[in-house]
Amino acid sequence: MFVAVRDGIVTWAGFQELFSALASLGLGSFELAVSRKETTEPSTRISLATPLGFDLSMDADTGRLRDALRGRGLSLCALLVDNDFARQDLEAEVQYVVKACEAAYELGVKAVRINAVMRETPGSSLLDYHRRALKGIRACLEQTEGLGVALAIENHGVIGNRHGFLFRLLEEARSDLVGLTLDTGNFYWYGYPLEEIYDIVYGFAPYVKHTHIKNGAVPADRRDRKRKPRDMVMAPLYEGDIELRTVVETLRDAGYDHDLTVEDESLGRFPAEERKQVLSRDIEHMKSLLRTSPAQGD
């Protein structure tokens, strides 16, 4: 495993330029957000914008990004898309994910982080959401399976953090290329008791393709009971309630050997001048866990 970071977190911390920030933070890999923009020339093309200024729907830009990364000894651990299979135009969501997978293939990226269902719609049941998400995932697979790029569903939002919902999606997708972007803080944010978080991570560990590492804090009298979603304060990785060493060891025991991508959503709690230091401490904390956690089989 190795430590990486989300591009947006680097910006939030106050760094002005991503590549120099990665060097300063001692990292060689990051997750890159890919935003969708419909264009009119031609009308069928989807523009895939990135914060680095490259449009990954264009071969020339994809090549320039690949060269820029190679020249600096950097890699992308994942691409991130902001799809939602609950949106009315399911085909548009599918094409967004498909185009991102095609770009990932060209860049040598193993996983694309996707959402399942991010919005609740009146009159819809959990089964309705499941069927909609599964339909979208299968449509994406039909068009991308030959690329070998994993669709990594994040446990995200009020629906997507329900572990039963996620397990059913993963099982019924029936593909090694459908897995999880394990967000270590989102299950806690959803309201699962702290002690259940470790069991949930254990159950999902064989499916993990990519990660978002975050932490949170809850008053001691509420940590070990079911809470409503959002009843949590984001915390630095080195200060929150979740014992991330246990998470790392669980992933390692399951054979996971990819990124631990830092996503500290507590940065907004700190004055702007302190955020770089907090992020640096997050990264060093995660590196220390890799140095001190026992290797698989020990």
Helices (H), the chain: 7-12, 18-25, 59-72, 90-107, 126-144, 157-160, 163-173, 186-190, 194-204, 244-253, 275-292
Nearest-angstrom CA–CA distance, 190 and 184 = 11
Mean pLDDT (the chain, rounded)? 95
Average pLDDT over residues 284-293: 93
Structure tokens at 139: 């449509």
Q: Any idea where the domains of the chain sit in the sequence?
A: 2-292
CA 190 to each of CA 120, 156, 196, 216, 226: distance values in angstroms, whole numbers, following the listed order: 15, 9, 12, 11, 9
Mean pLDDT of 42-65: 89
- Residue 94, pLDDT > 60, answer yes
Mean pLDDT across 145-151: 96
Task: Report cis status (omega within 30 of 0) of the bond before 42.
Answer: yes
**What is residue 120's predicted lDDT score, i.e. its pLDDT?**
86
**Predicted structure pTM score:** 0.94
Domain 2-292 CATH assignment equals 3.20.20.150: yes
CB atoms near residue 241 (< 10 Å): 18
For 201-255, the pLDDT digits (tens) are 999 999 999 999 999 999 999 999 999 999 999 999 999 999 999 999 999 999 9
Phi, psi at 125, each rounded to 5° = -95, 170
Distance CA 286, CA 66 (A): 27
Average pLDDT over residues 262-277: 98
pLDDT score, position 297: 47
